Structures are given as structure tokens and as C-alpha cells.
Structure 1
Amino acid sequence: MIRSRFWRHPASLLLGPVVWSLWFVVLYAMLSLSCLQGWLVNGGDHPAAINLLLAVAGLLVTLLLLISAWSAWRTPSETGFMPRTSAMVSACSAVASLLLVVPGLIMAPCL
């Protein structure tokens, strides 16, 4: 009952973008700290273990956003506008969260 009421509220539209923005800040803060503190092997020329850890975290964030999109999509509603829109916003945020990880898997963190 509470879950279905949340997806009908306009504040549910903010869930995806807020989670994405927090993930964006955490990802680039960790990459910057790893470059400054020297946590990288091989002088930072190749993708390091921090890249793989952040990739796994990115997959978890994407999974969380996809679960919230699925939950919003399945919420019964009279009009269906708010839950469906929340689901689409969360799904777009999930794709954007996953795309943040791709450069870290291809490139070295400190360029």
C-alpha cells in the first residue's frame, strides 16, 4: 500500500535523477582521490582495481534504479501517468548510471 502511494506522488519523479547525481559525485570523487593519493598500480597508465570496484558499484546502482523502475511500472493507478513517468525517468537514470562506468573500463583513471 505504501509502495503504491509513493509512485503516485510527484516526488517519485526525483528518485532516479537524485540517485544518478549521487552516483556521479561518488564515482568522480573516488577516481580523483585515487589519482591524488596514489592508489593506482603501474603509475595510472592502465585501468586499475579501483575501476573494477567502481564498475561493480555502478552495476549495483543500475540494478537499484531498474528495480525501482519496474516497481513504478507495475503500480496500479487510475490514470497511470505518474507511475509510468516515474518508471521512465528511473529507467533513463539507470542507463545514464551504467554509461558513467564505461569510460572507466576503457581508459586509465588518471589522464
Structure 2
Amino acid sequence: MANKPYKVQKSPFVVPTTDGKIIKEHFGRATDGNTQLSVAHMIAPAGWSEPFQTPEFDEYTFIISGKKQFIIGEDTVILSAGESIKIEKNTRVQYSNPYTEPCIYIAICLPAFSMDLVNREP
């Protein structure tokens, strides 16, 4: 049987976390070895936050439901359902959901997400 020119993803890689966030990588390093691009379905629980980081990849975020807060330099950006943002690589950012409802969103990283490229602060 010949290879098909498409791939349906029904079994994304569930990234282990310790902060209650759910990360399901549909395409990327962990799922199919793609180092160029990653696509993940994320659920950030109410009250969730991460340390500041300076990723070595561009990250596009599209909010499906809820709200997500981004601290980028001197700016605090809050996105709601239907809104999106691109954060350029080598930009210091903190992601959080200080709200009372979970935030469901899609994250796309170029090149693909890797813990080695995140550069989280202690």
C-alpha cells in the first residue's frame, strides 16, 4: 500500500506535566519527529502559570475558550476566545491563566517545541 499524502492524527502525544496543564502534541518532535513545526492542543487550568521564558522558536497561540494572559516586556496582553497572537523567538514572555475558568487553545511553534529551546527561568 502506497503512502498517502496526508496523516490523520488520532493519538496525539500527551506531554507529562506537573502543573495541571494538559498538552496534547498532534504534530512535532514527540509525535512524529518533525523538528520544523509543532501543533498542540492545550488546556491551562484556572490559576495556572509558568515561569518567564525566552523560547528559541516563534509561537502562535489561538484561544478556543477562556482567557490567557501573556506578560511580554512591559506589556500585559489578555486574549479571549477567537483571538490569537504571534510571539517572536527570543522574546521574554510569561504565560498564565489567572482566571476562574480553564483556557483551551492551540499552540503552533516554529521550529517545533522542545524543552531544550524554551529557556525557562528558575
Please give the TM-score of this superposition, normalised by the length of structure 2: 0.22
Structure with greater contact order relative to length (CA < 8 Å, sep ≥ 6)? 1
**Structure with higher strand content:** 2
Normalised to the residue count of structure 1, the TM-score between the two structures is 0.24
Name the larger-Rg structure: 1
| Greater helix proportion | 1
